[in-house]
Chain A
Amino acid sequence: MATPRYKVREEEKAQEIGETRTFNESQVRRLVDGASGGDFEAFGEIYSIYLERIYRYVFYQVNDKMVAEDLTEEIFMKAWQAIGKYKWKGQPFQAWLYRIAHNHVIDYFRTRRQDLASENQISAEANGPEQEVEEKLRRQKLLEAVSYLPPQQKQVIILKFIEGLDNPEIAQITGKKQGAIRVMQMRALAALRQGLSEEYRNASQAI
């Protein structure tokens, strides 16, 4: 059996999705300071840097392309309105932005009370060759299983395994202690494993 290697390096993900620009913290800081002072262009740069991550974070929660697009735009509008109050107090800007995103998604679900699972959006992403269809269906089921997790567990799974953040970063975003993050992570994985049961086992051996 092939031994899978688990890699969630941010750089690797950036390559996967075609993000070529990288910004260090001091550059982001300059942009945030500019945006706090009302500089649209600086905020536009911030938008370009974080659009991909925030969109993805939202998409995996709502499972709907158009809703994800709308919410992403609204999240950045909220961020613009609040950026003047942002303080550099040890919390990375990214964590602050994810927090706005998380709250906005929660608000969305509160308002809409929608079923988290959407059956047709992910299949729109699956435009690959026929031989990949089965694998994509399996991933789709996995993503559906993720969408059924309780909100906090889902958040941890998305941030950790899709966004590739580490526990301290996730703790900053969620406001939880790292011990709590570890427990949520374990429970979420256990729930996913149970939900996928046989299907999961067969598929994971094929990775």
Chain B
Amino acid sequence: MQAKLSKVLDDCLVRLSKGETIDACLTQYPQLRQQLQSLLYTAVSVSHIPKVSPSDEFRKASKLRLMARLRDKSIQARVVKSGQATALADRLGVAWRIIVVAITQPSKKVAIPVTIALLLALGGGLLLSGAFRLPSPSPALVSQCTLSILSGSVATQSPGSNVWEETQDGITLEAGTRVKTAPQSQALLTFFEGTTIKLEPNTDITIERVEGGGAQPTEIVLKQWLGKTWSRVVRMLDPGSHYKIETPSAYALVRGTLFMTEVDETGSTTVQVTEGLVAVGGQNLEVNVPAGYETTVEAGANPPQPTPIEPPGQSDAGPPGVGPGGQGPPGQSDAGPPGVGPGGQGPPGQSDAGPPGVGPGGQGPPGQD
């Protein structure tokens, strides 16, 4: 009976999808009318569930992140291959010494090693000819980031220059460049390994340092002078890697998370953490801010103990990839209570190796590579 009903239901659904009416279907199956009717109306209701769509901002930002991550992974893979090629070269060196020994001290005992060595030399040579053509990660590439203008206009100041110039979408910026968004303007910086920072209107930052790529630890340091940013940091597996935002009154250090940094005209800095854990430092004290919490550091002061973020709807902007009207930070994570002070009392194993209270084992978004 159940099998029959499921088959009839499916038949009706196919027919409805071709434009037939529910009544027409029910007429054909009078004996199942009662059960069918409610199921078909439920199906119609479900098919009317509004179709969500990723925001344009998320589309753009996520594609940039993805492409950056793909390039970075490819470079890492090449570095590994390069490393393998180097190991092979070492083995060839050994083989060469064997050949030299064989030539200078001929004996039956070295006949087989010599054959192997020659084979290795031949095969290895072929492999190396390919391996050595593999490009190494270019320092020029990793020390840059890509600027995407999401709306309005953006000005940049080249390293060593005092002149602000209006800039264009898609250009690459090198370390030392200062970036400023105009009112009603938003921009996105995408780093070589996929980390992005979204600049809200009237935000002013300097790209202090961008290093890493391939097998090297990633180090991204930004100075945020004013305004609000949202950082989406790709999880950094290397303990030496970190992403840091310095402000006039504080700094935020992370290794794979999503957080907002806001600096007002007085230099006061607010850091809100949406995912992961951020170490926020002031004059001589550091607090760990877990997901769902925020802290505000006044100029010249230390960060107070983190407090829960205000409920969604009270913030005027969302994180990268969440369009206007997007959600604020989600609920609190299952991380423990915020830790305070040097030596960090936050959730264990979620700190970085840098400043006090931050040790290895940072936490990132689930499943990120």
Select B2's contact among A59, A121, A183, beta carbons within 8 Å.
A183
Contact digits for A180-195, partner B, Cβ 8 Å, 1 yes 0 no: 0011011001101100
**Chain A proximity of B313: nearest CB distance (Å):** 9
- Measured between beta carbons, the chain A residues less than 8 angstroms from B67 are 40, 44
Q: Is B136 an interface residue (CB 8 A)?
A: no
Q: Is A196 an interface residue (CB 8 A)?
A: yes
- How extensive is the interface on chain B, given as a class? 35 or more
**Chain A proximity of B70: nearest CB distance (Å):** 5
Which B64-98 residues have C-beta < 8 A from chain A?
65-67, 69-71, 73-74
Check B39–A73 contact: CB distance below 8 A.
no
Q: Is B33 an interface residue (CB 8 A)?
A: no
Q: Is A86 an interface residue (CB 8 A)?
A: no
Check B16–A196 contact: CB distance below 8 A.
no
Q: Which residue of B lies closest to A162 (CB)?
A: B49
- How extensive is the interface on chain A, given as a class? 35 or more
Q: Is B162 an interface residue (CB 8 A)?
A: no
**Given the interface contacts A108-B367, A161-B47, does A48 sit within 8 Å of B63 by beta carbon?**
yes
- Measured between beta carbons, the chain A residues less than 8 angstroms from B366 are 70, 108, 111-112
Check B63–A44 contact: CB distance below 8 A.
yes
**Chain B proximity of A6: nearest CB distance (Å):** 3
Contact digits for A148-176, partner B, Cβ 8 Å, 1 yes 0 no: 00000000010011100011000000000
Check B17–A6 contact: CB distance below 8 A.
yes
Interface of A is mostly: helix
**Given the interface contacts A7-B17, A74-B367, does A183 sit within 8 Å of B70 by beta carbon?**
no
Interface set of B (CB-CB < 8 Å, partner A): 2-3, 5-7, 9-10, 13-14, 16-17, 19-23, 38-54, 58-59, 62-63, 65-67, 69-71, 73-74, 258, 274-275, 312, 319, 321-322, 325-327, 330, 365-369
Using A66-B322, A68-B54, A71-B367 as known contacts, list a sample of 18 further A-B pairs with CB atoms less than 8 Å apart, ordered by residue number in A: A3-B21, A4-B21, A6-B17, A16-B51, A44-B67, A65-B326, A66-B275, A73-B65, A80-B70, A104-B367, A126-B50, A139-B50, A146-B49, A161-B49, A185-B6, A186-B39, A192-B46, A204-B42
What are 9 A-B pairs with beta-carbon distances under 8 A?
A: A3-B23, A4-B22, A16-B51, A56-B53, A65-B322, A68-B54, A69-B322, A80-B66, A201-B41
- The 9 A-B residue pairs whose C-beta atoms are closest, nearest first, are A6-B16, A204-B41, A186-B6, A182-B6, A161-B46, A4-B44, A3-B21, A193-B42, A161-B47
